[in-house]
Amino acid sequence: MRQNPLVHKRRGLRLLGVIVLLLPVLFLGLFFFYPLANIFRLSITAAAFYDLAQRPYFRSILWFTFWQAGLSTLLTLLAGLPAAYLFAHYDFRGRSLLKALTTIPFVMPTVVVAAAFRALLGANGPINQSLVGLFDLSRAPLQLEQTLTMILLAHVFYNVAVVVRLVGGFWANLNPRVVEAARVLGASPWRAFREITLPLLRPSLVSAALLIYLFTFTSFGVILILGGPQFSTLETEIYRQYVTFLRPDIAALLALLQIIFTFALMSVYARWQQHTAVSLDFRPQQTNLRRPQTRLEKTAVAALIAGLGLFLLSPLAALVWRSLVDRDGQFTLAYYQALPQLRRGSVIFVPPLTAVRNSIGYALLTVLLAGLLGVLTTTVLVRPSRWRNWLDPLFMLPLGASAVTLGFGYVVTFDRLRTSPLLVLIAHTLVAFPFVVRSLMPVLLGIKPSLREAAAVLGASPARVWREVDLPIMGRALLVAAVFAFTVSMGEFGATSFIVRPNSGYLTLPIAIQRYLGQPGALNFGQAMAMSTILMLVCAVGFIAIERFRYADVGEF
């Protein structure tokens, strides 16, 4: 038997694989687990425990964090269910457009949503002004600034897409004959809904509720900007304890609590997903759709469409509008024209336009870095190996830790880098990384193994297989991932608010907006509106790109 010359050493290939795997692991280790560990190390001080246990203030914060999330979730479900019903059952003109609209808030940065609600419902906002004009009032009738109502509204606005996508998608796939059977057997519409539809919808309802609870539990920007000093949740309190009260030990202990709660919630969610992921027969959604028939139906559908459209668009429209009119309601471009100027007494130390430029720069670099790490990670993760079982959850962990905790971990860990823009970039990359992985994984997992085998049999080396099969098929998903990374970086607020000081030349657009919103004066407010509008437009364009490139309708959040 002759030795075959074609047998090549595979050691070089092994090594390449190890490097490919090691790079993301090292990155995560250094910039996620290490700062997290540092928080734990710091939080172990007796004084922090003592203070936290002693002062009822912290107990009320904890309590508020829980119940505001619960209330937000409940309200979102109530607001989202009619919309979910609408999309699951009716075909009407502009359906896909409206459906896309519901997702827009979801991709909006928190500062933009906060700014939009201030624009819409503020004392000088269009609603108050028209009420004043209509009823000839002396002062604004709706005093919603810095109220819980405002926070709850923003939370509902933010998360209604979750209900529409998850519950609506599920609802559309329920067999309508089941409800008809119940009706034939004598159930009233309400009875049929309560006894048939609702129990059948339960898996999706619970999924949506858990997800919304998780999101509102960790809500930071909305509460910080809309709530003002009298409302504090775990997230905002971490920020305040560190920035305002200079108590990093208490902040660390709160961050620890925060991590425990989010991971608990996430594991409940993951369990629930596993439990319900069985036997969902996805039929094409078109089959159950019909046009509204009776007059009552038509009116109801029209009202739903109008209400939903108004709810989704009015805050964003108000934002644009208020960036374009002055105090007296006259059209002006002054707020935009002032963006390149460094005003005397400005709350930031560079012209606002620099913040815009910074943000775009960070976002582009984040796309590169998060994209590279994401591609490396998914390439390893989709191939069956003994590593995969414990690597998969490892790479998803950053999704669970809040951005605030991350930013806090960075400032206590990388003291030397504090003034470096590098830290901002790394934080943005880490926040965007799970989104990239989530966009790529389903597509890569969907590639039949035989496709790679066929290429290999035809003579493609493993690297060539990746280039010829994985990469082109991944192409569109890669674009989605890139846009995700871009918009996430553009809007990132929680982590950046720790890392970048407002007096830094490297500050980002959301930080500048938050600073301007916190200051009195029409010009400050107007410029905050102008910057928010720019940010909103960038994210909206990104969102449209995602919708166009996406493969499946039901995306993973």
Partner 1 sequence: MLDLHAIQKSFDDTAVLRSISLSVAAGEIVALLGPSGCGKTTLLRIIAGLETADGGEVLLDGVDVTAVPVHRRGFGMVFQDYALFPHKNVAENVVFGLRMQEWPPEKVDGRAAQVLELVGLAGFAERAIHELSGGEQQRVALARALAPAPRLLLLDEPLGALDRALRERLMLDLRAILKQAGGLVGRPEGITAVYVTHDQAEAFAIADRVVVMNAGHIEQVGRPTELYRRPATAFVARFLGMDNILPAAPLSADPPLAQTPLGPLAYTAPHPHTPTPAHPLTHSPAHLLIRPEAARLLPPGEEGENVVHGRVQDCSFRGRYQIVTVLVAGEDGEGETAVSLKLEFDSDEHLPDVGQPVQLSLDPRAIYRLE
**Is the Cα dihedral 214, 488, 37, 16 positive or negative?**
positive
CB of 141 to partner 1, least distance (A): 59
CB of 452 to partner 1, least distance (A): 8
The answer to whether 116 and 319 have CB atoms below 8 angstroms apart is yes
- If one asks whether residue 275 binds partner 1 (CB under 8 A), the answer comes out as no
| Candidate ranges 135-143, 356-364, 447-455, 525-533; the one touching partner 1 (CB under 8 A) | 447-455
- If one asks whether residue 457 binds partner 1 (CB under 8 A), the answer comes out as yes
DSSP H or E run through 230:
none
Token pair 């246990």 is found at: 53
Exposed e or buried b per residue across 246-255, where buried means at least 16 C-beta atoms within 10 angstroms of its C-beta: ebbbbbbbbb
Instruction: Determine phi and psi for 552, rounding to 5 degrees.
Output: -95, 160
- If one asks whether residue 9 binds partner 1 (CB under 8 A), the answer comes out as no
- If one asks whether residue 177 binds partner 1 (CB under 8 A), the answer comes out as no
CB of 470 to partner 1, least distance (A): 11
- If one asks whether residue 384 binds partner 1 (CB under 8 A), the answer comes out as no
- If one asks whether residue 448 binds partner 1 (CB under 8 A), the answer comes out as yes
**Cβ closer to partner 1: 253 or 443?**
443
- If one asks whether residue 456 binds partner 1 (CB under 8 A), the answer comes out as yes
CB of 456 to partner 1, least distance (A): 4
Cβ neighbours for 110, distance < 8 A, ≥ 6 positions apart: 219, 220, 221, 222, 225, 491, 493, 510
**DSSP secondary structure letters along 464-502:** HHIIIIIHHHHHHHHHHHHHHHHHHHHH--HHHHHHS-T
CA 412 to each of CA 42, 406, 433, 497: distance values in angstroms, whole numbers, following the listed order? 9, 10, 22, 14
412-441 residues near partner 1, rule: CB under 8 A = none
CB of 445 to partner 1, least distance (A): 15
| Candidate ranges 141-149, 165-173, 206-214, 446-454; the one touching partner 1 (CB under 8 A) | 446-454
Give the one residue of 375, 455, 481, 500 binding partner 1; rule: CB under 8 A. 455
**CA-angle at 122, arms to 116 and 127, nearest 5°:** 90
- If one asks whether residue 11 binds partner 1 (CB under 8 A), the answer comes out as no
- If one asks whether residue 134 binds partner 1 (CB under 8 A), the answer comes out as no
The answer to whether 429 and 492 have CB atoms below 8 angstroms apart is no
Written as six digits, the tokens of 80 are 């989202």
- If one asks whether residue 454 binds partner 1 (CB under 8 A), the answer comes out as yes
**Cβ closer to partner 1: 53 or 457?**
457
- Reported residue count of the chain is 557
**Cβ closer to partner 1: 139 or 448?**
448
Cβ neighbours for 395, distance < 8 A, ≥ 6 positions apart: 24, 28, 377, 381, 433, 434, 437
- If one asks whether residue 8 binds partner 1 (CB under 8 A), the answer comes out as yes
Can you give the binding site for partner 1, defined by CB under 8 A? 1-4, 6-8, 10, 448, 450-451, 453-462, 464-465, 468-469, 472-473, 475
